Amino acid sequence: MDPYLKDKVALVTGVSSGLGRGVAKAFAERGAKVVGIARRADKGAALGEEISAAGGSFTFKRCDIDDVAQCETVVAEILAAEGGVDILVNNAATSGERPVQRLEAMREVDWDSVLATNLRAAFTLSRLVLPPMQQRNSGVILNIASINARIAVANMAAYNASKAGLVHLSNTIAVENAGSGVRAIAILMGGVKSEMNTFVADEMARTLRGASWTRSAESRAAQDARSPSAEAYGRALALLCADDAALITGAVIALDGGATAGSIASHMIYLGASQ
């Protein structure tokens, strides 16, 4: 395997499961020194053992990214140990405790909790890593948005808004650093297998079918089989951090199986026409 991220320091948030875990593994396989942060220390430690056993470099730091002081401490520790951060992947996200609810029923606390994790934390970490990136004239920030940034999903106002905000956060970082070697890219993610996506899908189904509805094991297995692995998404994201991708900045890139291009709408149109 080509170690095209060799010795690059990559800070990845939300590594305890889902996409973050897959990104950490894929980046480490390509030679990056991965620093993963998450709230669940046991999951982070297990991932570290797995990556180390495969010959990769991984350091886990427990951090609640909603807490600005904790973010500042973690970044300061990385800068002291490594001298800089070459790649920041703002991946950690939440859909909230009540992910499916109409806007008028939403409480401010529900809105604030989603925006704090999904958008404000990405701002905080970007603000902290940008000065050393600018000093080196090199760096990549990947903000993991969602197809929800382009296609509003009913009853998910806070999540939709937070992911749309990540797109323009990326654009702003890109234009403020154009020509400097510091890049920012927004990713419209869709279809990745994760605990959060499973939870949201089940909550959506209960909204339609009743609170007592539960997904069968067969249905869950079929859904998992249709979803590409987190590692597959991680490999795609690693390509965007390679030196050969130096011209890619300010871009909004969809990793969604064609959803934002129209595959979901086409499926629904033809399904309706066949009935």
CB 166 within 8 A of CB 145: yes
Would residue 159 show up in a list of annotated catalytic residues for this protein? yes
* Active-site entry in 4, 159, 233, 270: 159
Q: At what angle do helices 18-29 and 41-53 cross, to 10 degrees?
A: 30
Q: How many CB atoms lie within 10 A of CB 266?
A: 11
Tokens of 129: 């890593």
Question: What does the buried/exposed string (b/e) look like for 65-98 if buried means 16 or more CB atoms within 10 Å of the residue's CB?
Answer: bbebebbeebbeebbeebebbbbbbbbbbbbbee
Identify the DSSP state of 62: E
How many alpha carbons lie under 13 Å from residue 4 in its C-beta half-sphere?
Answer: 14
Instruction: Considering only CA atoms, give the Rg of the chain.
Output: 19
Catalytic residues: 159
